[in-house]
Structure 1
Amino acid sequence: MEPTLLILAAGMASRYGSMKQIQSFGPGGETIMDYSIYDAIRAGFKKVVFIIRKEFADDFKAIVEPPLKGKIAIDYVYQDLKSFTDGYQVPADRTKPWGTAHAVLCAKDAINEPFAVINADDFYGRDAFEKAYTFLTKNVNGNTYSIIGYELLKTLSDNGTVNRGVCRANASGDLVAIAERINIAKKDGKILVDDNQEPKELPMDSQVSMNFWCFDQSIFPYSEKLFNEFLSDNGNLTNPKSEFFIPIVADKFINANKGSIKVIPTSAQWFGVTYKEDAPEVKANLEQLVAAGEYPAKLWK
C-alpha cells in the first residue's frame, strides 16, 4: 500500500501576513508546496491530500490542480472549527483553527494508508521525503511512528527569531520528548534562546521538529480520543488561543507507552517563509538548487 502525503495548508499565516501557501517562489512560478510534492512523487508517493479552509478553496485549487493533473492523485479536506466537536459548543468568538493535530484528524475519512504530514510553507528537501517513504513502506505500524529531525542550525532565519520543537531521543533513536522553545536565534556564533526554559544555549547539532511526521492510520482514533479530552477541559474550549498540536499527541503516545516514535535525522537544508523578509532568500535558495541540477527550471513541464 503506497503512502499518502498530507499537506497542512489551512493556517492563517498571521506572522507572514498573506496566503503564503500559494505564493510563487520558484523560477517557473512554483510554490514551496510544488517542490515538496515533486520530491514526494519521485520518492514514490502516489497521493496528496491538502488540508485547507473552505473560504480560499477555489483560489487554492485553481493554482494547485492544473500542473499536478495526471502526476499524482489529489484530494482535499476542510479544517472546520466544528469538526469532531460533537457535544461541545464552540464559542462564537473562536476564529483560530484548533491546531495541527486537529487538522490531521480532519483527514480521517480521506486517508486509509500510512501517511506523512508536512507544512505547506516549508521546504524540506529530497532526502527527507526519501527517508519518509522508506519508513512508511517498511517500518511503520500501529506502534511505531516517526519524525524527521532537522539540524537546528539549518532551520534558523536571518530576519528574526524562530520557535522550534527541540527533540530529545534515547540511545535507540526513539523520541523521548519535544520541548517547544521560543525566540531562538544565532548570535555571536552561538544559538541562544530567550524564553523561560533552560538551557539558554542550544547545541548547534540539536535535532528539531519541522512538523514532518510519519504515521500509521491508527493515529486517527487515538487523536480523536485525545481531542475529546482536550475539549473536555473548559479552559481549552473557551480560550481563543488554545490549540491541539501534533506534539501533544506524540507526547501522549510515547508517555502512555502506546509505542515509539523514531527520530530520523536528515541532512537536508530547511528553509521557509516565517517572515516576509525571508521571501527573497527562499527564491535565491531555489534558484541555486535549480542551477545545481537538483530541480528542473520548470517542475511541471
Structure 2
Amino acid sequence: MQPISLVILAAGLGSRYGGQKQTDGLGPNQESLLDYAIYDGLTAGFTQIVFVVRESMMPSFKEALEARWGGYRSTYYPEARFECVLQKMDDLPEGGERPVERTKPWGTAHALWAARECIHEPFAMINADDFYGRDAFLRIAQHLTTLDNDSLDACLVGYPITRTLSKNGSVSRGICEIRGGNLSRIVERTHIETDGTSIWYKENGTVQLLDGTEIVSMNLMGFSAAIFSVLEDLLTNFFTEQIQEMNPQQLTAECYIPSALQSCIERGLSVSVLENNSVWFGVTYPDDAPIVRDSLLDLVQKGAYPTPLWTQ
C-alpha cells in the first residue's frame, strides 16, 4: 500500500480558549484531542505523523509524545514514524518579511508549509484541537491511496455546519459550494454564530444569514505532495499584497488553507468532497471543554476507544 502521512497543526496560540487546548486533558484519563487524533490516525493506516509546533512548545511536546506514544507505536505500529517540525515566524518564502511587531502565527497555510521538508507522499492535515471521528480518518486515508502523487491533487472531508458550531461564541469556518461531489468554491467566513435557531455571520459590519444546510471544512483535507508549490505561491502573494503594505492588519492577518484549495480549483483541479458519518467537536472557548469531556466519556463508555488510549 502507498505510504500516507498525517500532518497535525499544533502551533496555534488558543487565545480565545486561554490555554494550550491542543494538549489539555479532556478524556477520562487526561487524554487530549491530539491524543485521539494520533490514535485514529494510526488505526486508519497513516505511516507517518508530522506535528507542526511552536518553538516554545518543542521540548516538552516531544517529551510528552514519547512518554505516551513511544511504546505503543513501537509495539503495535513499528512501521509508523513521528516527526516534529517548527512553525517559525521567520520561515518565509523569498521576498517575505516579518514586521517587527508581529507575534501572531501566519495561519494554517504557513503552518502546513512548515512541513514541506518531511512530506514526499500523499497526506492529510488536521487541527490538533478538533475531534474528527474514526470514520473521517478512514475515509480520507482510503482516498489518499488513490491519489497520483506526481500531480496536483486534493480532497476534503465535509461536515454539516450545524454540527460544528459553539454555543459559547463565534467561530470561523470554510463554507463549501459542492457540485457533483466536487468542491466548486470555498470561502472562509469568520464570526459565525448561532442562537440554536438561526445561524449567521458578520461581514463588514453586516449580518448575513445562513440556512443551516451548508457543508463546511474543518481543515481535514488531503493533498498530493505537489501542494507545497501552491502554498509557496499563495504565501508569496500574501506577503506581497497584505503584509508589506503598512497597515494595522499586518499584525493579525493570516493566510488560510481554504485559500490553497480555492487556488487548486482555479487551476482546474477537481477537489473531491468526502462524506463521513463522524461527529465533530472541539474547543474554541473554555466553556466548550465540559461538552467535549462528556462527549469523549460517552464514546469510551460505548467501547469506541480504550482509556487510556495508549494501552491496548
| TM-score normalised by length of structure 2 | 0.90
Match of 2:161 in 1: 152
Farther-moved stretch of structure 1 (205-214 vs 191-200):
191-200
What SS does structure 2 have at the residue aligned with 1:284?
Answer: helix
Distance 2:148 2:8 in 1: 19
1:86-125 deviations in Å (ceiling 9; x for gaps): 3433221111111111111111111111110000000000
What SS does structure 1 have at the residue aligned with 2:125?
Answer: strand
Residue 262 to residue 237, structure 1, CA distance change in 2 (3 Å): farther
Q: Does 1:299 align with 2:295?
A: no
Cα drift, residue 217 of structure 1: 0.1
Match of 1:17 in 2: 18
Cα drift, residue 25 of structure 1: 0.8
> Is this contact kept in 2: 1:3–1:137, CA < 8 A?
yes
Map 1:87-166; keep pairs closer than 5 Å. Answer: 87-139=95-147, 141=149, 142-166=151-175
Match of 2:278 in 1: 268
Match of 2:30 in 1: 29
> Is this contact kept in 1: 2:40–2:133, CA < 8 A?
yes
> Is this contact kept in 2: 1:6–1:49, CA < 8 A?
yes
Residue 93 to residue 198, structure 1, CA distance change in 2 (3 Å): closer
Amino acid at match of 2:310: W
Distance 1:188 1:32 in 2: 25
1:68-95 deviations in Å (ceiling 9; x for gaps): 1124411011011111343433221111
Match of 1:60 in 2: 61
Cα drift, residue 179 of structure 1: 2.2
What SS does structure 1 have at the residue aligned with 2:217?
Answer: strand
Match of 2:7 in 1: 6
What SS does structure 2 have at the residue aligned with 1:146?
Answer: strand
> Is this contact kept in 2: 1:144–1:262, CA < 8 A?
no
Residue 101 to residue 122, structure 1, CA distance change in 2 (3 Å): same
> Is this contact kept in 1: 2:152–2:227, CA < 8 A?
no
Residue 199 to residue 95, structure 1, CA distance change in 2 (3 Å): closer
| TM-score normalised by length of structure 1 | 0.93
Residue 225 to residue 182, structure 1, CA distance change in 2 (3 Å): closer
Report the aligned-residue RMSD.
1.9
Amino acid at match of 1:255: E
Q: Structure 2: any 5+ residue segments left out of the alignment?
A: none
Map 1:235-250; keep pairs closer than 5 Å. Answer: 235=243, 238=246, 239-250=250-261
Amino acid at match of 2:50: V
1:147-178 deviations in Å (ceiling 9; x for gaps): 110111111112222221111011x2111111
> Is this contact kept in 1: 2:62–2:84, CA < 8 A?
no
Residue 226 to residue 162, structure 1, CA distance change in 2 (3 Å): closer
Distance 1:36 1:193 in 2: 29
Cα drift, residue 139 of structure 1: 3.6
Aligned length: 299
Q: Structure 1: any 5+ residue segments left out of the alignment?
A: none
1:193-250 deviations in Å (ceiling 9; x for gaps): 3445999332333210101110000001221122222222254565111222111111
Q: Percent identity?
A: 39
